[in-house]
Structure 1
Amino acid sequence: MPRLPSRFNPQQPRSELSFEGQSLQIPSFAICVEENRVPPKLKEICVMTRLLLAFVVCCVGSLAVADVKVLPDGRAPADKRLGKLKDLNGYFPLEVPPTKEEWAKRADYVRKQVLVSQGLWPMPTKAALKPAVHGKVDRDDFTVERVYFESAPGFFVTGSLFRPKGLKGPFAGVLCPHGHWANGRFYDAGEPAVKQQIVVGAERFEVSGRYPLQARCVQLARMGCVVFHYDMLGNADSQQLSHTLVHRFGVDGKRRPEMEKADSWGLYSPQAELRLQSIMGLQTLNSIAALDFIQSLPDVDANRIGVTGASGGGTQTFMLSAIDPRVTVQFPAVMVSTAMQGGCTCENSSLLRVGTGNIELAGLFAPKPLGMVAADDWTKEIMTKGMPELNQLYTMLGAKDNVKATAYLHFPHNYNHPSRAVMYSWFKKHLKLEGKDPIVEQDFQPLSIAELTVFDDAHPKPPSGDDFERSLTKTLATDADQQIAALTPTDTNSLTKFRDVVGTGWKVLIGRELPASSSIEREKIKKEDRGNFFFFGDLLKLKKEQEELPIVFLHPKQWNKQVVVWVDESGKSGLFNSDGSPKYEIKTLLDNGFSVCSPDIFGTGELVPAGAATPFKNRRVGGDRQFAGYTYGYNHPLFAQRVHDILTLVSFVRGDDHGAQKVHVVGLGGAGLWAAAAKAIAGPAIDRAAIDTAGFRFASLTEFDDAQFLPGAVKYGDVAGLLSLSAGSEVWLSGEKELPKLTAACWKAADGPAPALFTGEAAAKGNDVAKWLSR
């Protein structure tokens, strides 16, 4: 490097950089210089000095980052979240708990998960059914009537009601959701197809083979059942939401910006997902209303209710049976398996199959009778994957004869005569019907579309189209908002009710409890003496979930037995200045005896998938269809995963041998609501929580990949609802000019210390938190 000129004045002004506690003095002219005013000989020195300065700055920065890094170069956490997302074609086995008590607890949670995922927790206010039953068609031994009624204000269920003739009631009631057959309830296989079906043994009679959906309704009526064959959305008479919208949305890879307004939205939009409004949820609501209807009929025995459907109708069969205790026997055909879970948008919704699958969803019916049939499709392995576990479950519950699967692997996907015959026998046994085995269908005179359709001049079609869709989502949202508002507590009893409803909703949204500390392993990687505190770099391993969490601990040599879990949206590096020293607020805590730990929350620091863009966002399951349910129906959103990491760290600290007496959590900026959610789930395991909302509201989100996107968050009170779940605890709160009304009401009902509301400058938040914790 060229030597400085003799005229160089060592006393001239300098700039200072700090490097590992050592001051670096740099001449000011080397940092800022107008080159046209510098002598030529000095220019070379300036350039070289600036290059040196750049090198030093880079070294300082890289050393600071390396200092926070826990894992050695070339090693990444063995965390399954770093891999591919799960999709509907994954593997979904059932893990049967070892005891009845553990199954009861698990089943209760999964059942609530289903209800939440369908937008049915709490159950929407039911519309008066006001059923229209008309246009009776009389056949020799059965009748068929046209039916429609409301499941929600202005939203109609349509179908055909089959009744036996010449038999004495009351009769068993059977619901028949149809599945993905062309035109649904109006399905006609056609003459060429049925002849081929007869040749291969799939059908026995031309009429029943050509009209298989009518055939099962007719046969069940002949056996002594009142059967309601109702339309899946977008089929036959159910056209308020079109077939394209219900079953084909997004096949062109496009969204509908005109249906994604903050105050006026349609299904599949971020606004709908934030409120858990979905096609599948509406269909499930219709199934519940169909059950209400059939149970209301005077000739139906309310204690003998069966449900059967195939394919998508099989999905609705086990969905309804999982959540409605009125069903007494079910028979989902060619749907229940550990493999493909249902490919249509009408069979998927956010949150539904996160941590579960169709085998377990069907098993929620145990110990009541569950019959199934499989074919040469995704159900073909049911006898070895799924059925052994269901047998184990039913045996444990003392009902080993109440579960049965029959596999006809020489037939493709179907609900043909051999499959229907198995169902007839199952229903005969468990609904106590007439007849002898084997039950063989007889020919019948099919109904034409004109005889089946429920709408005519005297019974006009209801509204449909985009405007109706917007009004439906608005009606459902208003009802949900009113239900949450009605839960606003005024005392401890009503607060308990609020927590049961809203708290359960948030528990499902987050999808994990505080893990047992015994389930967490610690790998010690680094330990450094840094004067008045020790620096530890560790890796926490949550084996059951296949998750690994890089963390740092700053442990003072004079410890007060309290730990602060400080969560930063940049990860554990957020504890440090650029020179690697603790930030002022962290130093304050250390000086006051607090141990401070911080994780690389998922998507930060060392816990980022290879090749991912930064800042990290929610990923999407492959394919062009812009449907959130295909991703969030099988995977936790990023927001929830980050809360999981906080819970893991809190649990570890609570159970660590060092014996922390108190554990506090701090989340500022984007991390504030993760901390709020962790406190809501962990409860008293977190003593104090410092939460910065940054004025954020989930309702403002417009993109599915936003890191804060969380399906259902708006339904359960948005930020106000989340904060309310910590009522009664010691909380420092920033980002709010005043407490939201719901939050204030909950705190008043809890009769606990009011939150410490910080309204100062953003730059002072960290220092104020440190003072609040140290008081």
Structure 2
Amino acid sequence: MILSLMVFFQNGFAQHQNSDDLYKKPLIDVLKEIQNRYKVQIKYTDAQVKDKWVNYAEWRFRTKIDETLTNVLMPLDMKVNKEKPGVYKLKEYEYYRWDVQDGWSYLDALATKYHDQESWEKRKAEIKPELYKALLLSPLPAKPNAKPIITAKRIFDGYSVENIALEILPGVWINGSLYKPLNIKGKIPVVLSPDGHWEKQRYRPDCQIRCATIARMGAMAFSYDLFAWGESMLQFKYEDHRRSLAQTVQTLGGIRILDYFTSLKETDTSRVGISGGSGAGSHCILMTAMDNRIKLSAPVVAMSSYFYGGCPCESGMPIHQCVGGTDNVELAAMTAPRPQLLVSDGSDWTAQTPEHDFPYLQKVYGYYGAKTKVENVHLPEDKHDFGINKRIALYDFLVKNFKLNGASVKDKTGEYDESKVTIEKENALYVFGNQGEKLPKHALMGFENLEKLFPLSKSK
């Protein structure tokens, strides 16, 4: 009996010891072993591997290196990118970035839910209210009873610029610059122009050029900051843009901008458009899906079935989990039958737009007999930017659908001429002064105070 108990306790202790230890090793040691065993190089920083451990480390090795790397890294929410044969780079796992075929397969699965206009309209009616709920915007927060803050107008060749701040929540503003044609006759279109994640925000030359040229063609163009971006950083930190509530606040900002511009006497509400690039392109897609006041959408280097946007301002709130799951291409399809332009390039997640995502959109537009209302300008040699080729595609689309005067900004050879645009210094585009000295005293400061306005927010 005593011998049996001893054997039991010895076996039990050994098993307990193994389960406690879990055969774990430091990640850095496991990576070194992988490099030695498979004769490869894995690039990583000390910060990436510090204090990380791999349970059952030796048990995760397989005959193929790719399987081994997946087994080791996936539980740690990490992966590697293969830079060239035999060379890998360690990265955080991106759950918002899928393999191309996985994205396409998921889009195909979504497409089985509808087959004609009636079934698609039913699907849209299910998704739309859920987007508002996912963004904590159902019901919408009360609109502050405040007038816009508008700076002095600057006059240039064929257009003017004035800076505007709209109070969207108590003490919270969305800021931008309004480019207007000098001679307004009757009602004219407005093109909302949110800024993407590029350096210098909406102060960049290409952003000023685009908006000024649209104004010289006969429309208003409103260039505005995303949340905790640009002048919004007077109230919030740069890091706050990387928090999920950013998506909620900048979506609310887009809604308030629409409220303001559709109330102006000079706005032709039948010609309200939106166009932005990269993260602002994702914002375009979402805004157009949610608000029918937008009559034209032109997301640039943004839409993809296999990349949902790496920034929390694009995918921080659970919009892609609505009604059992959706994706950015299905959200873009909610624009139908309103005109939509997709501009894609060969160097980012839009590189394969013409192959699968665009034909899907054409099919949905076909439900309305409006297949030609959605267009794709693919620029395989272009990079991820809002460069001249992308701007030309947008100008042509606006001329076609909003009847803008393209001839007024073309040279004698018929090419678009942007040389008459004046590039202003960054501080000229500020609403609240060079040092923020004009920021109202009741301004809400800090992310922790913003969260109090959204008590159900789990933003961290």
Q: TM-score range by the shorter chain?
A: 0.7 to 0.9
Match of 2:426 among 449, 459, 464: 449
Does the 8 Å CA contact 2:150/2:163 hold for their aligned counterparts?
yes
Matches of 1:107 and 1:235, distance apart in 2: 31
Question: 2:219 aligned with 1:241, yes or no?
Answer: no
Matching residue's letter, 2:329: I
1:374 matched to 2:344? The reply is yes
Q: In the superposition, relative to structure 1, how do residues 153 and 439 fare at CA in structure 2: closer, same or farther (>3 Å)? A: farther
State the match for 2:257 in structure 1.
Answer: 290
Matched, 1:401 2:372: yes
- Counterpart position of 1:440: 416
Look up the SS of the partner of 1:221 in the other structure: helix
CA distance in 2, matches of 1:346, 1:463: 27
Check the 8 A contact 1:241/1:464 in 2, yes or no: no
Hey, what's the Cα distance between the residues in 1 that align with 2:448 and 2:394? 40
CA RMSD of aligned residues (A): 3.0
Instruction: Tell me if structure 2 keeps the 8 A contact 1:118–1:349.
Output: no
Letter in 2 for 1:123: L
Q: CA deviation at 1:323?
A: 0.1
Structure 1 position 364 matched with structure 2 position 334: yes
Q: Which residue identity lines up with residue 428 of structure 1 in the other structure? A: V
Q: Measure, in 1, the Cα distance between the counterparts of 2:445 and 2:142.
A: 22
Q: Deviations over 1:502-532 (max 9, x none)?
A: xxxxxxxxxxxxxxxxxxxxxxxxxxxxxxx
Structure 1 residues 463, 378: closer, same or farther in 2, change over 3 A?
A: farther
Deviation at 1:393, TM superposition (A): 0.8
User: 1:86 and 1:98 mapped to 2: Cα distance?
Assistant: 32
Mapped partners of 1:464, 1:335: distance in 2: 36
Tell me which moved more, 417-426 or 429-438: 429-438
CA contact (8 A) 1:92 1:358 kept: no
CA distance in 2, matches of 1:86, 1:442: 39
Matched residue SS, 1:441: coil
TM-fit CA distance, 1:401: 1.1
Larger Rg belongs to: 1
Name the structure 1 match of 2:181: 164
1:475 aligns with 2:446: no
Q: Distance between the aligned counterparts of 1:295 and 1:466, measured in 2?
A: 27
Whether the 8 Å contact between 1:117 and 1:349 is mirrored in structure 2 is no
Distance 1:456 1:414, change over 3 A: closer
- Whether the aligned pair in 1 keeps the contact of 2:170 and 2:444 (CA below 8 Å) is no
Q: Does the 8 A contact of 1:164 with 1:222 survive in 2? A: yes
Shift of residue 367 of structure 1?
Answer: 1.2
CA distance in 2, matches of 1:171, 1:467: 37
Check whether the contact 1:236–1:453 (CA below 8 A) recurs between aligned residues.
Answer: no
TM-score with structure 1 length normalisation?
0.44
Code of the residue aligned with 1:461 in structure 2: it is L
Q: State the distance in 2 between where 1:170 and 1:371 align.
A: 24
Q: How many residues align?
A: 361
Specify every segment of 5 or more residues in structure 1 that has no aligned partner in the other structure, as ranges. 1-45, 55-81, 188-210, 248-267, 269-276, 482-627, 630-703, 705-775
In the alignment, what sits opposite 2:97? 89
SS at match of 2:343: strand
The alpha-carbon deviation at position 359 of structure 1 amounts to: 0.8
Indicate the SS of the match to 2:454: helix
Residue 50 of structure 1 deviates from its aligned partner by: 5.6
Pick from 238, 245, 269: which aligns with 1:302?
269
SS at match of 1:421: helix
Cα offset, 1:315, TM superposition: 1.0
Residues in 2 aligned to 1:122 and 1:100: alpha-carbon distance in whole angstroms: 28
Asked if the contact 1:159–1:228 (Cα under 8 Å) also holds between the matched residues in 2, the reply is yes
Q: 1:86 to 1:47 in 2, by over 3 A?
A: same
Equivalence for 1:264: none
CA distance 1:294–1:129, shift in 2 (3 Å): farther
Distance 2:159 2:405 in 1: 15
Report the CA distance between 1:338 and its aligned residue. Answer: 1.9
Q: Is this contact kept in 2: 1:233–1:243, CA < 8 A?
A: no
Q: Distance in 2 between matches of 1:214 and 1:161?
A: 10
How far is the alpha carbon of 1:152 from its aligned partner? Answer: 0.9
**CA–CA distance in 1 between the matches of 2:117 and 2:6?**
71
Partner residue in 2 for 1:47: 2
Partner of 1:759: none
* Among 120, 138, 141, the residue aligned to 2:137: 120
Q: Deviations over 1:359-389 (max 9, x none)?
A: 1111111111111110121101000020111
Preserved contact between residue 178 and residue 309 of structure 1 (Cα < 8 Å): yes
> For residues 439 and 371 of structure 1, what CA distance do their matches in structure 2 show?
20
Q: Which runs of 5+ in 2 are unaligned?
A: 10-73, 78-92
Q: Indicate how the Cα distance of structure 1 residues 381 and 129 shifts in structure 2: closer, same or farther if over 3 A, else same.
A: farther
Decide which of 333, 336, 339 is 2:303's aligned counterpart.
Answer: 336
Are residue 412 (structure 1) and residue 383 (structure 2) matched?
yes
Match of 1:485 in 2: none
Alignment of 1:95-110 (within 5 A): 95=108, 96=111, 97-110=114-127
How far is 1:411 from its partner? 0.9
User: Cα 1:314–1:216, aligned 2, differ >3 Å: closer, same or farther?
Assistant: same
Distance 2:195 2:417 in 1: 18
Structure-2 separation of matches of 1:439 and 1:295: 32
**Contact 1:143 1:165 survives alignment (8 Å):** yes
Percent identity reads 28
Does the C-alpha gap of structure 1 residues 466 and 295 become closer, same or farther in structure 2, counting only changes over 3 Å? Answer: closer
2:398 to 412, 423, 427: 427
- The answer to whether structure 1 residue 383 and structure 2 residue 354 are counterparts is yes
Q: Given the alignment, which residue of 226, 229, 234 partners 2:220?
A: 226
**Cα separation, 2, equivalents of 1:179 and 1:52:** 67
